[in-house]
C-alpha cells in the first residue's frame, strides 16, 4: 500500500494558530528559515528514497525560487498551498480566485511547473467555503487535499466521506483527497495524518491508525507535516499556552518520528498514491454521509 506524503512549505510565521496578520511587508522583515528547514526535509527523504508532494506557498516561491527548483530537481511533486496563507473561509470567491492565480504564477515562475494539486491553509475548505472547489477546477487543478473529515475548532467537515473521491463542480470534476483518519466506531474517527498529531502524540498512535487504514480498510493514507515542525531552533512566536503547545510541543522528537514512519510505511507522492485513473466513478457530494 503506497501512502501519500505531503509537505506544506511555508515559513515558521505562517501557521494560522499564531495569528500573524497576512501583511506581506511585515513578513519580509522577519528572518527566513524555510530554506534550511526544507533542505533538512529533502535530506531525510533522500536517505529513505521517498518522493513526496510539496505544497508550496506562492509567497515562499517568490522569495526563495532556488529552493523550489531544488525540490523539483530532487524528483518531488510540486503543488500549491495558496499565495498568502489566508484561510479560505475568510475570503470572498473573487479574493480566493485572485490568491490562487497569484500562487500558481509564482510557483510556475520559480520552477516552470504549473501545479495541479492544491492544499488550503489550515484545511480551510469547510462547509462554508465548499464553493472553493469549483474555483480550483476552474483554475486547472485536478486534485485537492484541503478537507479534514473531523471536527476541529478551526477546520474540518465532520462526517465528510473519509476516502478520496471525485467531486463534480460546474467547472469540472476535482479529485478530493481528505487527510487520513482512522475509524473508531460507526460515527467516530480519529485524525492520523501526521503534522501536529504525529508531533504531539506518541508515535504508536499514528502508526496504529495508519495500519488500521491500510490493512483493515485497504485504503492509502494522505499524511503531511511542515518543515518548521522538524526544527528545534524554530523561533517561538506565541505566548498563549494553548497555541504554544499546539505549535511547538514535540518538535525535538519530530524528525525521529518521521524517520520511523518512513521506515515502517511506504510513502510517495499524491499522484502515485491517488492516481486519477482509478477514480473514474463520479460520486455525489458526501457531506453528512
User: Which letter does DSSP use for residue 183 in this model?
Assistant: E
Interface with Zn ion in residues 111-140 (CB under 5 A): 121
**Residue 247 or residue 269: which is nearer to Zn ion going by CB?**
247
| CA–CA gap between residue 124 and residue 58 (Å, rounded) | 17
**Residue 10 or residue 77: which is nearer to Zn ion going by CB?**
10
- Residues in contact with Zn ion, counted by CB under 5 A, come to a total of 3
**Residue 8 or residue 144: which is nearer to Zn ion going by CB?**
8
CB of 82 to Zn ion, least distance (A): 8
**Residue 34 or residue 150: which is nearer to Zn ion going by CB?**
34
- What ranges in the chain are assigned the alpha helix state H? 24-28, 34-47, 58-63, 65-73, 93-111, 132-138, 195-200, 203-211, 241-248, 251-264, 270-273
Residue nearest to Zn ion (CB): 8
- Spell out the residues 6+ positions from residue 227 whose beta carbon is closer than 8 angstroms to its own: 7, 9, 10, 34, 37, 38, 40, 41
**Residue 10 or residue 99: which is nearer to Zn ion going by CB?**
10
Q: Out of 8, 62, 144, 279, which residue is the one contacting Zn ion (CB under 5 A)? A: 8
Residue of 169, 88, 247, 160 whose CA lies nearest to 103: 88
CB of 85 to Zn ion, least distance (A): 6
Q: Does 99 interact with Zn ion (rule: CB under 5 A)?
A: no
Give the 3-state secondary structure of residue 146.
coil
CB of 56 to Zn ion, least distance (A): 10
| Residues engaged in binding Zn ion (CB under 5 A) | 8, 10, 121
Amino acid at each position: 500500500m503506497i501512502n501519500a506524503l505531503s509537505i506544506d512549505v511555508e515559513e515558521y510565521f505562517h501557521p494560522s494558530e499564531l495569528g500573524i496578520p497576512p501583511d506581506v511587508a511585515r513578513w519580509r522583515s522577519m528572518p527566513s528559515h524555510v530554506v534550511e528547514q526544507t533542505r533538512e526535509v529533502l535530506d531525510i527523504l533522500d536517505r529513505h528514497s521517498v518522493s513526496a508532494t510539496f505544497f508550496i506557498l506562492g509567497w515562499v516561491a517568490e522569495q526563495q525560487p532556488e529552493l523550489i527548483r531544488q525540490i523539483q530537481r530532487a524528483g518531488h511533486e510540486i503543488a500549491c498551498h495558496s499565495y498568502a496563507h489566508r484561510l479560505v473561509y475568510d475570503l470572498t470567491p473573487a479574493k480566493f480566485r485572485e490568491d490562487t492565480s497569484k500562487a500558481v504564477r509564482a510557483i510556475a515562475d520559480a520552477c516552470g511547473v504549473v501545479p495541479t494539486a492544491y492544499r488550503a491553509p489550515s484545511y480551510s475548505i469547510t462547509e462554508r467555503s465548499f464553493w472553493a472547489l469549483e474555483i480550483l477546477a476552474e483554475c486547472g487543478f485536478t486534485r485537492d487535499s484541503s478537507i479534514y473529515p473531523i471536527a476541529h475548532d478551526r477546520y474540518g467537515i465532520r462526517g465528510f466521506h473519509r476516502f478520496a473521491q471525485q467531486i463534480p463542480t460546474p467547472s469540472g470534476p476535482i479529485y478530493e483527497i481528505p487527510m487520513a483518519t482512522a475509524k473508531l466506531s460507526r460515527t467516530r474517527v480519529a485524525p492520523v495524518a501526521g503534522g501536529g498529531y504525529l508531533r504531539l502524540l506518541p508515535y504508536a498512535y499514528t502508526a496504529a491508525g495508519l495500519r488500521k487504514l491500510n490493512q483493515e480498510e485497504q485504503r492509502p493514507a494522505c499524511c503531511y507535516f511542515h518543515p518548521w515542525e522538524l526544527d528545534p531552533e524554530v523561533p517561538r512566536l506565541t505566548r498563549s499556552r494553548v497555541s504554544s503547545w499546539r505549535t511547538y510541543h514535540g518538535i525535538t522528537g519530530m524528525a525521529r518520528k518521521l524517520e520511523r514512519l518512513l521506515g515502517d510505511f511506504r510513502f510517495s507522492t499524491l499522484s502515485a498514491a491517488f492516481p486519477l485513473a482509478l477514480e473514474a466513478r463520479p460520486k455525489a457530494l458526501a457531506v453528512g454521509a
